[in-house]
Amino acid sequence: MRFVRHHLLTAYAALALIYLFLPISVVVAFSFNNPAGRFNYTWAGFTWKNWTNPFGYPGLSGALKVSIEIAFASSIVATVLGTLIALALVRYRFRGSATTNLLIFVPMTTPEVVMGASLLTLFVNWKVPQGFGTILIAHILFNISYVVVTVRARLVGFDRHLEEAAMDLGANEWVTFTRVTLPLIMPGILAAGLLAFALSIDDFVITYFNAGSTITFPLFVWGAARVATPPQINVIGTAIFVIAISGMLANILFQNLRARKGAVTV
């Protein structure tokens, strides 16, 4: 009975992951499709040519590069800013905490089309040229709230006694923070960063308004879809997450190797 129950959870988790990847498997499959026309909607035959020529569409690689750069930059900045806010909100009681809470929630409630358009109004009024920079600003903007909410969930459950213990043992506040607190809330910060990355790389509406003439990957795909859905898009999408997952795998294996080789470190 315990066997079943123990493995029930694993089976469930496996099913959940399968569900998550069901459309992705279709995307991967269709990256090998060989349509005669420009649409990639129905299966027409197997080919390797999309994979041998993934950047066959002019503009696709440039758009991808822009999206990845913005995703990295905006998720890092938003994670830093958001973590600081979360720390302030959870650890301290101060006047204006309610207003700050509100200010964190309201951007999430704003429909994308008006957020994008009103931000554009700001840039136009202040004569800020639209392009890479304004996209970055917009992405950091909407990512902050998501980071705050995620990191806060971690901080709320954090056991302050550990910090007290460290201070009792002579560590000052900064050392306590960096050696005790930060490592323990790191999973929360990492999760928030991942979420911000995902939000940024998939954003369309807000990016559209504030991109000027810069083109990101989602903008390219949405734009092209009016006349074509080249299989190369599927190839690129598949490739990105294969690379990401391989990178993560390599990192984990590397850590394991180090842990086995290295002596016990404190």
Partner 1 sequence: MLHRRKAAIPYLLLAPGIAWLAVFFIVPMWYLGKMSLSQGLFPLFNFGWAWGNFSDAVSAYQTQFIRSGEYAGIATLIALVLSYPLAYWIAFRGGRWKNLFLLLVIAPFFVTYLIRTLAWETILSDNGVVVRTLQHVGILGSNGRLLATSAAVIAGITYNFLPFMVLPLYVSLEQIDARLIEAAEDLYASKAQAFARVTLPLSLPGVFAGVLLTFIPAAGDFINAQLLGTPRQYMIGNVIQSQFLAVRDYPTAASLSFILMAAILVLVLLFARVLGTERLTVGA
Partner 2 sequence: MSDRLTREDLLRRAVAGSALLTVPGLLAACGGSSKSAATTSTSGAAQQLPKTITFSNWPLYIDVNEKTKTHPSLVAFQKHYGVHVKYLEDINDNDSFFGKIEGPLSQGQSIGRDLIVLTDSSGLPGRMIELGWLEKLDKAAIPNIKNLQPVQQHPTWDPNREYSLPWQSGMTGIGYDPKLVGGDVKSLGDLLSNPKLKGKVTMLTEMADSIGATMLANGDDPSKVTDATFNKAIDRLQKAVSSGQIRQFTGNDYAPLLAKGDIYACLAWSGDMVQLQADHPGLKWVVPSDGGMIWTDNMLIPKGGNVFAASTVMNWFYRPEIAAQVEDYVNYICPVVGADKVLEKTDPSVAKNPLIFPTKAMLAKVHQFDSKALNNADYKKKFQRLIGG
**Window 200 to 219, contacts with partner 2 (CB under 8 A):** 208-209, 211-213, 215, 219
Q: Does 55 bind partner 2 (CB under 8 A)?
A: yes
Nearer to partner 1, 47 or 101 (CB): 101
Query: x/- site string to partner 2, residues 114 to 153, per CB under 8 A?
Result: ---x--xx--xx-x-x------------------------
Question: What is the closest distance, in whole angstroms, from the C-beta atom of residue 260 to partner 1 in the complex?
Answer: 12
Q: What is the spatial distance between Cα 197 and Cα 202, in angstroms, rounded to a whole number?
A: 9
- What tokens appear for 143 in the block? 């990512």
- Of 49 and 106, CB closest to partner 1: 106
User: What type of residue sits at position 223?
Assistant: G
Query: Contact between 41 and partner 2 (CB under 8 A)?
Result: yes
Which of partner 2, partner 1, none is residue 56 near (CB under 5 to 8 Å by kind)?
partner 2
Closest to partner 2 by CB, 151 vs 211, is 211
Gap between the Cα atoms of 235 and 255, Å rounded = 30
- We find the least distance from the C-beta atom of residue 121 to partner 2, in angstroms, to be 6
Interface region with partner 2, contact rule CB under 8 A, candidates 17-25, 96-104, 172-180, 221-229: 221-229
The single residue among 28, 44, 80, 191 that binds partner 2, judged by CB under 8 A, is 44
What letter represents residue 69's amino acid?
E
Sort 61 into a burial class: Cβ within 10 Å, 0-12 / 13-18 / 19+. middle
Q: What is the smallest separation between the CB atom of 43 and partner 1, expressed in angstroms?
A: 9
Chain contacts with partner 2 (rule: CB under 8 A): 35-39, 41-42, 44, 55-59, 117, 120-121, 124-125, 127, 129, 208-209, 211-213, 215, 219-220, 222-228
